[in-house]
Structure 1
Amino acid sequence: MEASAIPALKPTGWVSLLSILVMLPVIGRADSGQIAQPWRAEAVVEGRDEAYDKERFLNELTFRHSQPLPTAVGNGIRGTGGSVSSRRLYYDFRFRQDFGFRNDRNGFLLDIQRSEDLDGAYQRQLVGFRQAVTDATELWLQGDVYSDKSVSDVYFSARHRLADNHWIHTSWILPDAYFNSKTDSPDEFETFPHSWFLQWHRGGGEPGLGTTASMTLTPDSSFISRQESLQVDSESVRAAFRHRQQVADWQISLELDGERTRRDYRLFAEGEGQTTGFDRNHFQVLASSTWTVHRLKPGFGLAYRVLEEQGFFGRALNDEGRIRRRESTVFGEFSLPLTPGVSLRPAVYLGHANIRQTFEEETDKDFDGFIGKLALPFVMVLSRQDGAALTLNPTFYLHKSQFGGGNLQLHWPL
Structure 2
Amino acid sequence: MSGLYRHTNLMTACLGLTLATATVADTAHVPQPWRADAVVMGRDETYDKERFLHELTFRHRLATPGVTDDGIRGTAGSVSSDRLYYDFRFRQDFGFREGRNGFLLDIQRSEDLDGAYDRQLIGFRQNLGDHSEIWLQGDVFSDKSEADVYFSARHHLTDDSWIHASWILPDAYFNDKTDTQDAFEDKPQTFFLQWHRQGAGDMGGTTLSLSLSPESRFISRQEDLTVDNESLRAALTHRQHQGDWLLELHLEGERTRRKYQLQGDDGNRPAGFDRDHLKALGSATLTSHRLTPTIGLAYVRLDENGFFGRALDDEGDIRRREPTLFGEFSVQAAPSTVISPGLYLSAPDIRQSFEQEKDLRHSGFLGKLALPIDIQLSASDNAVLTINPTFYLHTAGFGGGNLQLHWPL
2:99 matched to 1:104? yes
Q: Is the counterpart of residue 390 in structure 1 residue 385 in structure 2? A: yes
Aligned to 1:376: 371
Q: Verify the 8 A CA contact 2:271 2:306 in the aligned structure 1.
A: yes
SS in 1 for 2:360: coil
Query: How many Å apart are 1:258 and its aligned residue?
Result: 0.2
Taking the aligned partners of 1:8 and 1:306, their CA distance within structure 2 comes to: 30
In 2: Cα distance, 1:273 partner to 1:260 partner? 27
Structure 1 length as normaliser, TM-score? 0.95
Correspondence for 2:13 among 1, 5, 14: 5
Alignment of 1:226-241 (within 5 A): 226-241=221-236
Distance 2:169 2:260 in 1: 22
Query: Equivalent residue of 2:175, what SS?
Result: helix
Match of 2:242 in 1: 247
- 5+ long unaligned stretches in structure 1: 12-25
- 1: distance between equivalents of 2:36 and 2:289? 50
Which residue number in structure 1 is paired with residue 4 of structure 2?
none
Residue among 155, 158, 169 paired with 1:160: 155
Equivalent position of 1:143 in the other structure: 138
Measured after TM superposition, the shift of residue 337 of structure 1 is: 0.4
Equivalent in 25, 47, 51 of residue 30 of structure 1: 25
Distance of 1:362 and 1:394 partners within structure 2 = 31
Aligned pair partner of 2:265 in 261, 270, 294: 270
SS of 1:29's equivalent in the other structure is coil
* Inter-partner Cα distance in structure 1 for 2:307 and 2:200: 47
- In the alignment, which residue of structure 2 is the partner of 1:182? 177
In the other structure, the counterpart of 1:173 is 168
Q: Which amino acid aligns with 1:143?
A: G
Q: 1-side partners of 2:78 and 2:210: how far apart?
A: 29
Residue in 1 that maps onto 2:299: 304
Separation in 2 of the partners of 1:176 and 1:286? 34
TM-score scaled by length of structure 2: 0.96
Which of 283, 287, 311 is matched with 2:282 structurally? Answer: 287
Q: Decide whether the 8 Å contact of 1:3 with 1:343 is kept in 2.
A: no
| Cα distance in 2, alignment partners of residues 247 and 124 from structure 1 | 37
Cα distance in 2 for partners of 1:224, 1:57 equals: 33
Greater fraction of residues in helix: 2
3-state SS, counterpart of residue 366 of structure 1: strand
CA contact (8 A) 2:248 2:284 kept: yes
Superposed displacement of residue 3, structure 1 = 7.9
Greater CA drift, 146-155 or 199-208 = 199-208
Contact 1:10–1:69 (CA under 8 A) maintained in structure 2: no
Taking CA–CA contacts closer than 8 Å with sequence separation of 6 or more, which of the two structures ends up with the larger relative contact order? 1
- Percent identity over the alignment? 62
**Cα distance in 1 for residues equivalent to 2:250 and 2:193:** 17
SS in 2 for 1:5: helix
Which range moved further: 154-163 or 2-11? 2-11
Q: Does 1:365 align with 2:360?
A: yes
Distance (whole Å) between structure 2 residues aligned to residue 314 and residue 270 of structure 1: 14
- Residue 4 of structure 1 and its aligned partner are, at CA, apart by 4.8
Q: CA deviation at 1:165?
A: 2.9
In structure 2, the partner of 1:114 is 109
- Paired residues, what number? 399
Q: Following superposition, which runs of at least 4 residues in structure 1 exceed 3 angstroms of deviation? A: 8-11
Asked if 1:202 corresponds to 2:210, the answer is: no
Taking the aligned partners of 2:190 and 2:229, their CA distance within structure 1 comes to: 12
> Tell me, what secondary structure is at the counterpart of 1:37?
coil
The answer to whether the 8 A contact 2:192-2:209 is kept is: yes
Does the 8 A contact of 2:131 with 2:157 survive in 1? yes
Q: What SS does the corresponding residue of 1:57 show, helix, strand or coil?
A: helix
Query: 1:242–1:255: 8 Å Cα contact kept in structure 2?
Result: yes
